[in-house]
Amino acid sequence: MSVLPLVFTSGWASGINAYAVILLLGVFGRAGLTDDVPASLQRTDVLVVAGVLFLCEAVADKIPYVDSAWDAVHTVIRPVAGGVVGALLAGQSGSLTDLAAGAVGGTTALASHFVKAGTRMAVNTSPEPVSNIVISTAEDLGVAAIVTFAMFNPQAAAVVAAVLLLSGLVVLVYLWTRIRRFLRRRAQHREEKRLAALSAGGPPDGARHQGR
- d(CA 122, CA 181) in angstroms, rounded, equals 9
pLDDT for 123? 77
Residue whose C-alpha is closest to residue 122's, from 193, 52, 161, 71: 71
> Is 202 inside any structural domain?
no
Q: Is 159 domain-assigned?
A: yes
Question: Is residue 41 within 8 Å of 29, Cβ to Cβ?
Answer: yes
Q: Are 139 and 16 in contact (CB under 8 A)?
A: yes
Q: What is the pLDDT of residue 96?
A: 63
pTM, rounded to two decimals: 0.77
Per-residue pLDDT averaged across 90-119, rounded?
A: 82
Domain assignment present for 178? yes
Q: What is the mean pLDDT of the chain?
A: 85
Tell me whether residue 206 is in a domain. Answer: no
Expressed in angstroms, the distance from the first to the final Cα of the chain is: 89
Question: Is residue 113 a part of any domain in this protein?
Answer: yes
Domain that holds residue 181: 4-197
Q: Would residue 211 count as lying in a domain?
A: no
Count up the domains in the chain and report the number: 1
The whole-number pLDDT of residue 206 equals 46
Q: How confident is the model at residue 1 (pLDDT cuts 50, 70, 90)?
A: low
- In this prediction, residue 109 carries a pLDDT of 93
Considering the domain boundaries, does residue 205 fall inside one? no
With respect to residue 172, please indicate whether it lies within any of the assigned structural domains.
yes
Report the alpha-carbon distance of residue 24 to residue 147 in Å, rounded.
Answer: 7
Name the nearest CA neighbour of 37 among 2, 86, 81, 103. Answer: 86
Average pLDDT over residues 185-195: 82
pLDDT over 70 at 22, yes or no: yes
Residue 7, C-beta contacts closer than 8 angstroms, at least 6 positions apart: 85, 86, 89, 90, 96, 101, 104, 105
pLDDT of amino acid 94: 57
